[in-house]
Amino acid sequence: MGLLDGKVAVVTGGANGIGRGVSLELAAEGASVVVNDYGVSVDGRAPSSEPANAVVKEIESNGGRAVASPENIATMAGGESVVQTALDKFGDLHLVVCCAGILRERMIFNMSEEEWDAVIAVHLKGHFTVWRPASRYMREKRRGCLIGFTSTAGLEGSAGQPNYSAAKEGIVGLMRSTALAMAKYGVRANVISPEAMTRMTERLPDTRRGQVAAPPEGPAPVIAFLGSDRASHITGQVVHVRGNQVSVWSNPTPLRTVYREERWTAEKLADIWDNQLGQDRMRRLDRLGIQWPPTPQA
């Protein structure tokens, strides 16, 4: 008996890296799995149906049930098709996990519009295209689970990935909105923030690669749990996973507040800001050894 016996799951980006581990784990826990993967390179080029087909064969060889979906979830038609595949092939849908992603890395002052749009389309829009039809179905059934993927690049920032960082933080906002909207229907939404060695992290410099040296299968059991009935009370959460370490990150909340009877002026704010409000320091400034404030120019 598995935690997901009788469930039907969709996994986008389900044929490589973390997504492959999720597809295999969900199937091992008893779910019927739609393995969606456009089969592209890390930068989103050269699509192929072979990666998804290979994972389906692996699941079936282990006695599980799965079907391949090579659709491009960066399009509305692709997202609709993935959800419809679950309904047509398995007759239901309980869990959607969005792992699909690409990278087009560049500093913001050098990034092209095409590099921006391509990454936003796969990551952020790629959640919406699948979650919209899935949430409609789950709303009618009054149950279900949506799991997205964010990143510390979104939660903390990443200097050379403004498109990826923006998309990943946007996914957190989408998740919180969805969790609020779907709560009265018994549908929950959460996101995973993984750290693992994948095709995408292999591109990082050596100084950064050591920070993510965890197997890509790490998040899979966390997702299987969150998609199960044992987690039916959990929604609106950012869950960080690095190997065997699992953390729940905080939802935003005010740190310090100031109030004045009279209207604030810029000068009055300048007088009190550092002592009464200060800053919530960016952790990555320290981790990357970046001095802030910068040394004044001579």
pLDDT tens digit sequence for 176-233: 999 999 999 999 999 999 998 654 555 555 554 445 567 999 999 999 999 999 999 9
The average confidence (pLDDT) of the chain is 92
For residue 120, the SS3 value is: helix
Q: What is the pLDDT of residue 48?
A: 66
Instruction: Locate 224 and state its tokens.
Output: 């299987």
Q: Mind giving me the DSSP string for 232-285?
A: TT--S-EEEEETTEEEEEPPP--------SSPP-HHHHHHHIIIII-----HHH
Which amino acid appears at position 25 of this protein?
Answer: E
- List 193's β-bridge partners, or say none: 240
More confident of the two residues 208 and 110: 110
The pLDDT, as a whole number, for residue 209 is 47
The residue-averaged pLDDT of 282-293 equals: 87
pLDDT of residue 296: 80
Residue 61: burial class (beta carbons within 10 Å; 0-12, 13-18, 19+):
exposed
Q: Do residues 197 and 208 touch, judged by C-beta distance below 8 A?
A: no
Task: Output the pTM of the full model.
Answer: 0.90
| pLDDT at residue number 122 | 97
- Annotated catalytic residue: which of 137, 164, 185, 259? 164
**Structural domain spans, the chain:** 8-249
Residue 49's pLDDT band (cuts 50, 70, 90): confident
Q: Which two tokens stand for residue 150?
A: 């964010």
Query: Which CATH class name applies to 8-249?
Result: alpha beta
Tell me how far apart the alpha carbons of residues 233 and 226 are, in angstroms, rounded to a whole number.
Answer: 9
pLDDT score for 214: 78
Condensed to tens digits (0 to 9), the pLDDT of residues 128-161 reads 999 999 999 999 999 999 999 999 999 999 999 9
The predicted structure's pLDDT at residue 46: 53
* Each residue's pLDDT tens digit, 226-274: 999 999 999 999 999 999 999 999 999 999 999 999 999 999 999 999 9
In the annotation, is 137 catalytic?
no
Residue 193: how many CB atoms within 10 A of its CB? 24
Q: What is the pLDDT of residue 212?
A: 53
Work out the pLDDT band at 47, boundaries 50, 70, 90: low
